[in-house]
Structure 1
């Protein structure tokens, strides 16, 4: 796992942990407690998109 993958994954996880402690959000408890894992996966997806974009950009040049 590259350093950017880990960075985006951990950033998503940390944001998800913050969401767990914000009790005023109008979402259910199950979704709130699963949000660190959801956002870690979203961080991986964002990193994949960024890597593909960089690869296409470098191939065009």
Structure 2
């Protein structure tokens, strides 16, 4: 079964973000403000780094 990119359960108010993910709040804000500074890889790049699925 495929999972959506961001399942609705993952969307929580900032004050409810788990401690292990707190650093991501600032990173997400930075990427939103500086979107042009980030490169989105094309399909060729994605295929080049694709790994086989884990057995886990």
Shared fold (TM-score, shorter chain, > 0.5):
no
- Specify which structure has the higher proportion of helix: 1
TM-score (norm: length of structure 2)? 0.32
Q: Larger RCO: Structure 1 or Structure 2 (Cα < 8 Å, ≥ 6 residues apart)?
A: 1
TM-score (norm: length of structure 1)? 0.30
